[in-house]
Structure 1
Amino acid sequence: MTARGEVEYTGVRALHGPLAVVEGVSGVGWDEFVRIALADGGTRHGLVLEVDRDIAVVQVLEGTAGMDPAGLRVVFSGEPLRIPVGAGWLGRVCNGRGEPIDGGPPVFGSRRAPVSGDPVNPVRREPPSEPVLTGVGAVDGLTTLVRGQKLPVFSAAGLPHLELAAQIAAQATAGGEAFSVVFAGMGLTHPDAAFVRGALEERSAAGELVVLLNTADDPVIERVLTPRVALTVAEDLAFSGGRHVLVVMTDMTSYAEALREVSAARGEVPARRAYPGYLYSDLASLYERCGRIRGRPGSVTVLPVLTMPAGDITHPVPDLTGYITEGQIVLSGEAHARGIYPPVDPLASLSRLMRKGAGPGHTRADHLDVAAQLLAAIARAREVRELADLMGHAGLSAADRRYLDLDAAFLERFVDQRPDELRPLEDTLERAWEVLLTLPRGQLAMLPAALLDARLPGSPAPEAAPAEVPADPA
């Protein structure tokens, strides 16, 4: 026996990849935190993954490389993994387990919280109703993010999703209220990790940011833990500290692949594309930790970023993510090839809660009308472009050519911006008006007449089509 509530065992039967199999255990529970003492005096840590009679399977957070089963002492703590929580996390850069890598002391907090989180009673959830402005025009204008929402970014290899995630983390605000960002990077290369630290340095120095970085050469089990640590920190900052917190998690595909690797090491029967059958519930256990709680200050908003292998949106990770979340922001390879940043595909993107957090009383009175008209015009412009590819520009009408002009103006004037440019919402909506006014008034049927009168003084409203005169029966 060791400390109160802890039990020590030496019967390590085998090591399999990141897993250690311990036999002869008693009273051990699932998700219990474990300390493993090595023969050379080192210490590693783990979590109980499975218990079957007197055998426990432990996932070792630092990996099992260099461990000798004969010289191990395994201490079961009797409780889940807990981390200190509080404002001490702000301004810190840590690895995926929450250990500092910025040269500072360990993170301390007034209390410790389990990384698995506490389930939220759905009855106590408050509907999202206020915007989180990212400073990215294509997002704020057409797929507005709302406090308490989970809105993923769907990308593909070669697209600047990491740059977009870092830009949003560096620029996002909640309208002057207390706001923080927790950035969780999973499976990053060392140059990507260095880029993230550089891009977020200013916000980190201001004490508004927590950075957790798991690199590709870190243990795979740490990658499974990283988003849970991030969300645990965010929940305390929000619901105890009264802050509005944005959690940016990239790349969730790397997380799912780590989950698949652990599942294979356990010998589980694989499901779609060798991912574990519980992938849906596991992703839901992360995404559903966001929201607002009635009677508690603050909110947690989640922006997961994931890459779609081969650009396949039916791949299990984006497919299941789409079922759980409230919309998606889709990046376009075609727009990226044209040099547009961020290469957002407006017609494939959607924020299902946008109407709850945009418009009168939230952003600007004309926001929703302008966004709806702009999306309708872009949809028409794409139809015209396909028609032009078939029959050539000479066969297009004058109105059709105006739609092609709108399409070009939309990408160059509205979507395109610098990766370090903070675009105010007012500027975003004014740019949307500039794009829309490349069309004649008669093509802007989704905008209220009062708005058009204010923008186009002296412009007559289009005349109504004359009613058909019935033919004389004689």
Structure 2
Amino acid sequence: MRYSRILEIVGDIVKVHVPATENKQTAICFGDLALIESIADSARPPHLSQVILLEGEEVSLQVFSGTKGLSTHSVVRFLGRSMEVTFSPNILGRAFSGTGRAIDGGPQLNDEPSIEIDGPTVNPARRVLASHMIRTDVPMIDVFNCLVESQKIPIFSVAGEPYNQLLAQIGTHADADIVVFGGMGLIFDDYYFFRKAFEDAGVLARTVMFVHQGSDPVVEGLLVPDMALAVAERFAVEEGKRVLVLLTDMTAYADALKEVGISMEHVPSNRGYIGDLYSQLARRYEKACDYRGAGSVTILSVTTMPGDDVTHPVPDNTGYITEGQFYLHDGVIDPFGSLSRLKQHVIGKVTREDHSQIMNTMVRFYAAAQDAQQKQAMSFELSEYDHRLLKFGELFQRDFMDINVTMPLEDALDRCWQVLAECFSRDELLMKDSLVEKYFPTPADTLSQVDP
């Protein structure tokens, strides 16, 4: 049935009048899709929209492609279904827009089966306890804050930092079966960078990309996380795959929510964001799950902090939902601000026996090296031990903190022992004697090592 009484067009929101008697017959529901066709220009393709509010006989529609070219003389036709995304083996290696349209130059997949993107999350009581590690070959993650299957964890950073480079590096090295990438508000260069990184690393064939570019209508970005997570969930449940979902940037997603809220004249909350920001973010992050008898979905996202303010509503709400965070600033992952709350489930259990001890010892010495660096900056006299701490700090930053460094976990642990042996004696380590006896390099081993 068609409806032609459009009441108002504000921003990307169209409000249409639907008589109550007809609404009962057509059963218009929240989240249903609708097509808005321009009567004045029948050659123009219809605008895809979604029901976001039902108030009596007034239905509010969010237009994904923007309302340019629409007037109050347009006609609305409801489709009777919610938003869907194509799901089949043919989507692997492909890139799609925020509305599910192929943007990589390949054929459209209109005849492939589709799935709804707005399904419920799994009951937390029915989830499997996280106990498997996802290796990334990034030492600051694998050694010091492990990424665990079914974990949801953000990268906190600021504009200008190489967080997309870090995300691409993790995506190309992670030992996941499927990588699902969701980008919101990306410039074309960023999209091309991710695609080329996946292609050069030879992992594009197991990657699916959903990309909302900065030139696209803002509200299209709202669909990207739901599409990415719906596809990831289906790969995990139906095919038993270990899926890693990469999302950047969730602050852009929250800004799109804010814009819709302003158009809907909702009462703004902190800094103008919508009042249910926490719930909107949690609905997406809680899709992370290890399914009993099937695969798993792990979510690694980027959350940029405007003004480097961690109390900003987006990182603040994110911190309550997720299980830790990686702090990226000055081009490195901060070992002190970063935290993985699930790492205790895998360190020493599915990793090498010395992992826990070496992690704590390295961070302890790096903290001491920071103190020695402050003494040096203030022109205090440095002891011989302080000089060794400074040397350790330089090696730690060069061999581990640089995000360009990649190495398997076992090689990283061995390198930790080598760095300790170059700077300290066995007695200064304060570690278990059995581990020191087994892993501490001999002088001959240390001399034979070639710096990476």
Q: Is this a same-fold pair by TM over 0.5? A: yes
Is structure 2 residue 439 aligned with structure 1 residue 450?
Answer: no
The one-letter code sitting in structure 1 at the alignment partner of 2:136 is T
Name 1:311's counterpart in structure 2.
308
For this pair of structures, how many residues does the alignment match?
433
Give how far 1:422 is off. 4.3
Instruction: Please tell me whether the aligned partners of residues 122 and 289 of structure 2 are also in contact (alpha carbons under 8 angstroms).
Output: no
Residue by residue over 1:332-376, the C-alpha shift from the partner in whole angstroms, topping out at 9 and shown as x without a partner, is 22xx3xxxxxx111111011111112323x122211221121112
Is structure 2 residue 161 aligned with structure 1 residue 159?
Answer: yes
Name 2:446's counterpart in structure 1.
none
Match of 2:383 among 384, 392, 397: 397
Where structure 2 has 5 or more consecutive residues not aligned to the other structure, the ranges are 444-452
Name 2:396's counterpart in structure 1.
410
Is structure 2 residue 93 aligned with structure 1 residue 91?
Answer: yes
Match of 2:57 among 54, 59, 62: 54
Structure 1 residues 316 and 109: CA distance shift in structure 2, 3 A: farther
Name 1:81's counterpart in structure 2.
83
Structure 1 residues 15 and 91: CA distance shift in structure 2, 3 A: same
Inter-partner Cα distance in structure 2 for 1:230 and 1:457: 46
Match of 1:359 among 335, 341, 348: 348
Instruction: Please tell me whether the aligned partners of residues 418 and 440 of structure 2 are also in contact (alpha carbons under 8 angstroms).
Output: no
> What is the correspondence of 1:26-65 to structure 2 with a 5 Å cutoff?
26=23, 27-39=27-39, 40-41=42-43, 42-65=45-68
The one-letter code sitting in structure 2 at the alignment partner of 1:197 is R
Of 350-359 and 263-272, more deviation after overlay is shown by: 350-359
SS of residue paired to 1:173: coil
Residue by residue over 1:367-424, the C-alpha shift from the partner in whole angstroms, topping out at 9 and shown as x without a partner, is 122112111222222223233333x242x33223222211111001222253xx6421
Give how far 1:206 is off. 4.9
Structure 1 residues 243 and 329: CA distance shift in structure 2, 3 A: same
SS of residue paired to 1:212: strand
Inter-partner Cα distance in structure 2 for 1:457 and 1:325: 39
Structure 1 residues 138 and 12: CA distance shift in structure 2, 3 A: same
Name 2:6's counterpart in structure 1.
12
SS of residue paired to 1:145: coil
> What is the correspondence of 1:210-225 to structure 2 with a 5 Å cutoff?
210-225=208-223
Where structure 1 has 5 or more consecutive residues not aligned to the other structure, the ranges are 2-7, 337-342, 460-474
Is structure 2 residue 102 aligned with structure 1 residue 100?
Answer: yes
The one-letter code sitting in structure 1 at the alignment partner of 2:425 is P
CA-atom RMSD in angstroms: 1.9
Give how far 1:204 is off. 6.9
Over the matched positions of the two proteins, sequence identity in percent amounts to: 38
The one-letter code sitting in structure 1 at the alignment partner of 2:420 is L
Instruction: Please tell me whether the aligned partners of residues 248 and 303 of structure 2 are also in contact (alpha carbons under 8 angstroms).
Output: yes
Instruction: Please tell me whether the aligned partners of residues 256 and 317 of structure 1 are also in contact (alpha carbons under 8 angstroms).
Output: yes
SS of residue paired to 2:152: coil
Name 1:471's counterpart in structure 2.
none
Residue by residue over 1:262-307, the C-alpha shift from the partner in whole angstroms, topping out at 9 and shown as x without a partner, is 1111111111111111111100001001111223x11000001111
Give how far 1:110 is off. 6.8
SS of residue paired to 1:268: coil
Inter-partner Cα distance in structure 2 for 1:458 and 1:236: 51
Inter-partner Cα distance in structure 2 for 1:194 and 1:270: 36
Instruction: Please tell me whether the aligned partners of residues 249 and 304 of structure 2 are also in contact (alpha carbons under 8 angstroms).
Output: yes
Is structure 2 residue 370 aligned with structure 1 residue 368?
Answer: no
The one-letter code sitting in structure 1 at the alignment partner of 2:173 is Q
TM-score using structure 1 length:
0.87
Instruction: Please tell me whether the aligned partners of residues 166 and 403 of structure 2 are also in contact (alpha carbons under 8 angstroms).
Output: no
The one-letter code sitting in structure 2 at the alignment partner of 1:96 is G
SS of residue paired to 1:151: strand
TM-score using structure 2 length:
0.91
